[in-house]
Every structure is written in C-alpha cells, then in structure tokens.
Amino acid sequence: MKDLLKYLKNYRVRAVLAPLFKLLEASFELLVPLVMAAIIDKGIGNNDKAYIFKMGAVMIALGVVGLTCSITAQYFSARTAMGFGRELRADLFRHITSLSYTEVDKLGASTLITRMTNDVNQLQTGVNMFLRLFLRSPFIVFGACIMAFTVDVKVALIFVIALPVLVIIVFGIMFKSIPLYKKVQGKLDTVLLKSRESLSGARVIRAFNRERTEEEDYRKATEELTHEQLFVGRISAFLNPLTYVVINLSIAALVWFGGEQVDLGLLKQGGVYALVNYMSQILVELVKLANLIIIEMKTIASANRVAEVFAVKSSMSFDKSASLDEKTNASDGAFISFKNAGLTYKDASEPSVTGINLEVRRGETIGVIGGTGSGKSTLMNLIPRFYDCTEGSIEIDGKPISDYGMEELRGSIGIVPQKAALFSGTIADNLKLADSNASDEELEIALKTAQAYDFVKEKPGGLKHFIEQKGRNLSGGQKQRLTIARALVGKPQILILDDSSSALDYATDAALRKAIKELPGELTVFIVSQRTASIMHADKILVLDDGRQVGLGTHEELLESCEVYREIHMSQDTGTEKDSSGLRSNRKSLNGEAFA
C-alpha cells in the first residue's frame, strides 16, 4: 500500500483539505444539540419567541455552513480519489504492456484485467471514503463524549459505559463478518466464471446437448453463493438490533437519571435532549466507522494485488542503441539467422521448440509447416522477441535480436497472427494501427495487395465503414485479409503470416502470395501454413515435428527427403496440377471458399 501512495503526490493539498473541511462540518454538528438545548431551556422555558427565532437562525446558519463544508470536502476527496485512480490505472497499464509474454502468461490476462479495473476502482473508493471519514467519525464519537461531560458529568458517565459496549458489538461483528465476506466473494467468482463459460461457449454447449448439465452446475453454484450470503447476512443482521438495544437502554438510562437531575434542579430539560442527541450521534458514527474499516480492508487487499503486478519485472530488456536499418557485412549473406534456436516455456517440462538452424536472405520467402502443436507459432514469436530464446540465438543483420531497440525491431516486422484481431472502429482506424500517418492511397495499396480492396469498396462508407468489436460483422476471410493489409501498411522489412490465410480459398490465397511477391523492395516473408499448397512455391520450407526441425529445402527436395512433409502433402488433396501462380483447377477450388 505504501508504494501506491506516491500517486497522491499531485493531490496533496486536496488530500489535506478534504478531511479538514470534514472536521469543520463535524464541529458544527456537535454544536447543534447545545443550540437546541438552549432553545428548549431559554426560549421555550421562558416563552421567549425572539430568542427562539434568533437561535433558530443560528441552527440554520450552522446547517448551511456545515453543508457547505461537507460538499467542499466531498469535492476535494472525490477529485483526489479520481485523480489517484487515473494515474494508478495509467501507470499499471504501462507496466503491464512493458512485460514480456512470459510474465503475462504467468500472471494471466483475466486477472490483469480484474486488477486494472475492479481493484483500482476499489482503491479509488477506499481513498475517497478514507479522506471523508477517517477523521470525522472518531472526532464525533469522542467529541460527543466530551460534549456530554460539558452538559452534566454524572449523567455523562453512561457514555463511558455504553461506548465500550458499542465498540465491542460493532467491531466484533465486523471482524467476524470480514472473512465470511471474502468467502462469499470467492463463491461469487465461481458464479461469474460459470456465467462467462456458459455464454462464451454457448454454441459448444448446444452442439453437445449439454444445456441441462450446465443449468444444474450453475444452479448448484448459485445455491452455494446464496447459502454463504444468508449465513453472513444473519451474522451482520445482529449489528442493528444489538446496537439499538444498547443505545435505547442508554437513552432510557439518560432520561431516567437525567430526569432525576432535572427534579433536583441540577440539570435542565434541554440538557437531557442534548445528551440523547449525542448518544444517537455516537451510534451513527460507529456504524460509519465500522463500514469504513471494512472498505479499507478490502482496499488494502486490492492494493496488495495491484502491488504484486508492479513487483513483477520484465525478463526482457532492449538495447536502444542498435537499429535494424544499420547495414552490416552480414546483410550480404544471411539476413536472419537461427542458430540452434529453441524455447522452453516457463515451468514447462519440455521445450516447445528446439535445435532450429536456418539462414534467410533478404527478399526470400520461407514456408513453415508442421502438424498441430509442432511449434510453428512459437518459432515465429521468437523473431519479434515476444519470447526470448532459452537456447541458441537469433540474429538479424549479424546482430543478436537482443541488441535492437523494441521500436526498431518490432517496427520493422509486420505480424499477422493466427487469430485475426480487429478492434471496434472504422476500417481505416484498424489499418492505421501499423502507421498512424498512412494516407488513404497507401491504405488502398495495402488493401489491394491483401486482396481486400473489392469487398472494402462495397462496404457502406468504404474505409470509414465501422467494424464491431473483434470484427463480428465480417466473415473469417474478410478479417484475415484486413489483418494482412494492416501489416503491409507499416511497410515492414519482415512479414510474418502465421496461418493467416486458412479462411481463404486457394485462388485468393495464390493471388495474395503473388501480390506480396511483387511488392517493391526486398521483403522477407515467413508463411506459416497447415497446407502445402500455400508454401510449395517458397524459396525454402522449414518442416517441424514435435518442436524439432525435421526438414529444410524446396518443395521438390522435401518430397524426396522428408517423410513428414511427404505425409502432410499426400494427406491433402493436391493431386491436380497447378499453374505457375499456384492456382488450382476449378474442380479443386472448393476447399475454404465457402468459409471465406
């Protein structure tokens, strides 16, 4: 929690003014019973209407000034809390984006989202309530006791007896309830998890006719949550009856002993009224204080969760001194070199990729193929340093990729991921993620290369057509072509197509590869695919099996020398002849077109 207090440094003045104004409000509130006692004793007792109106005006003035102080305090505390939350959330987001994939995988994306939203919101609430109540409630509790002694010392001894009893009841129930509320929160997490799984997997559930089973699981989870909530609710329900019993007994004692003091002429009737009011104020503030402590305990738990994220440091560092544009003698030979490269994921028992040796020249097209889980995507993730090699190394232009700055390295690589990821916004907005300064003409060139220009032109508004979150209003083939166009907008030196044409028909796939090949400059392309038709015209084809390199060469060479590649090729319907651009005959062009 201490480490997070630095986000209050820009709001120190407001953080001090908020509780001070709350103290002013509390001071005026403590004066109100005395003013009312004076009205009863002097105004009503003496039938002095002028005095009643005068003191009534004083009460109104105290109310107006108290209200003004309260509003001012809440304004300062709210501004402080919101500013604190804004800076904390922004810094937390920056920190998360600076982490490597290894740390993000370990922490988990879902918990990072929860900590950046729910936990930060809890911290905002905690700061807001702390500034408003941490001085006010104790001040009124002890202030009311002191003010009671100024009214009558003997009768005020009832406060000395009642206050500890109230503290024991309030805080005893509170400390008993807190762990139970944590348990309830855990049950609530289970219900939310069940809800999320059922909604996101609705199609799978219906496909396997599992609706009734899911309903039973959900009902069981909600019943457990209900049981825990009722249990803790019954305990918490004792708070009001017990406190009101103590308060009412105390008030009865005040009236009893106060009446005796009035009969003896040692206390006036207004004094009894003031004592009763102070007792009521103590009850209200003790309940507020108990709620504040519960909020702050939740806040501390959230602060610890956020601090845990800040404590995680990226295992990856970047050297900003080197640039990919700097040419070395090595660029005349291998542009990209894999030297016995491999990766073992953290806490994994076996390597996902191991022993990869490959040299790639500028302008070459490299095909990567292998069965599901053979490590194709993992290998591609090593090039932009999403993960660091745990064995061997990768060099670009003769330098280890760790020598390049993050912007220099990743800014020169265009990546089209296996799962097309589009964001809510216009088509132009999505394409400009690669280059925010790209002109409409450059966007159109990229769309034409990606074979997406025709369908974009037909959309209402063209480049200004709005795409829903995750591209829900587009087909699979349209999404893939737009992500390819987005990568091309950045004019990369290295283009990685990670199984990004799986939803395209063979004709569109072949036209795409031909258009990329005809781009100006020496664009180095990696094509990851499950089908040999997409990579058979590559300069080199890397074959992976269970994370190991089992073949490297051209299509014809691998058919002769690599059994794994030959099996993949023969298992696919590739028996018909292809022309020089890789187009299949009409009889064989059905595969994938219906899904584009």
pLDDT given for residue 131 in this prediction: 92
The predicted pLDDT at position 234 comes to 85
Strands 524-529 and 494-498: parallel
Rounded CA-CA distance 590/584 in Å is 10
At residue 185, the pLDDT reads 67
Rounded CA separation 262/247 (Å)? 21
CB-CB contact of 530 with 499 (8 Å): yes
- pLDDT bin (cut points 50, 70, 90) of residue 47 is confident
Measure CA 528 to chain center.
Answer: 31
Angle 23-25-26 (CA atoms, 0-180°, nearest 5)?
Answer: 65
Site of tokens 């089908």: 531
Pairing of strands 425-426, 466-467: antiparallel
Which long-range contacts link 298-303 to residues 24+ away (Cβ below 8 Å)? 298/122, 298/126, 299/122, 299/123, 299/125, 299/126, 299/127, 299/130, 300/1, 300/126, 302/115, 302/118, 302/119, 302/120, 302/122, 302/123, 302/126, 303/1, 303/4, 303/119, 303/123, 303/126
Inter-residue contact 538 to 532 (CB < 8 Å): no
Dihedral angle at the C-alpha atoms of 401, 403, 404, 405, nearest 10 degrees? 130
The pLDDT-based confidence of 576 (bands split at 50, 70, 90) is very low
* Percent with pLDDT over 70 in the chain: 93
Rounded to whole angstroms, the Cα distance separating 163 from 149 reads 14
- 343-412+493-596 and 419-491 share one CATH topology? yes
pLDDT in tens, 218-259: 999 999 989 988 988 888 788 778 878 888 888 888 888 888
Q: Which residues contact 469 (CB under 8 A, 6 or more apart)?
A: 423, 424
CB neighbours of residue 490 within 10 Å = 21
When pLDDT is averaged across residues 273-278 and rounded to a whole number, the result is 86
Type of residue at 254: L
Quick: pLDDT tens for 121-147. 989 999 999 999 888 888 998 888 888
Residue 588 has pLDDT above 50, yes or no: no
pTM for the full model?
0.73
What does R_g of the chain's alpha carbons equal in angstroms?
36
**Residue 450: which of 502, 493, 489, 410 has the closest Cα?**
489
SS3 373: coil
DSSP code per residue over 79-134: HHHHHHHHHHHHHHHHHHHHS-HHHHHHH-HHHHHHIIIIIHHHHHHHHHHHHHHT
Tokens 């994921």 sit at which residue?
A: 345
Is domain 343-412+493-596 annotated with CATH 3.40.630.30?
no
Tell me the sheet residues that pair with 413.
Answer: 494
Asked if residue 595 has pLDDT above 90, the reply is no
The total of other beta-carbon atoms located within 10 Å of residue 459's CB is: 16
Domain layout of the chain by residue ranges: 343-412+493-596, 419-491
Q: Tell me, what's the pLDDT at 322? A: 53
CA distance 529 to 535: 7
Residue 401 has pLDDT above 80, yes or no: yes
Lowest mean pLDDT among 314-318, 416-420, 439-443: 314-318
pLDDT above 50 (res 583): no
Please give the average per-residue pLDDT across 9-35, as a whole number: 91
Identify the DSSP state of 4. G
Average predicted confidence (pLDDT) for the chain? 84
> Is 436 a residue whose pLDDT tops 80?
yes
What is the fold of 419-491?
Rossmann fold (3.40.50)
Q: Report how far residue 181's alpha carbon sits from residue 111's, in angstroms, rounded to the nearest whole number.
A: 20
Is the four-CA dihedral 527, 532, 535, 540 of positive or negative sign? positive
421 vs 472: CA distance, rounded Å: 11
CA-based nearest residue to 503, from 471, 470, 529: 529
* Dist. CA 465–CA 474, nearest whole Å: 11
Give, as one character, the DSSP assignment of residue 424.
Answer: S
Q: Quote the Cα angle for 336-342-348, to 5°.
A: 150
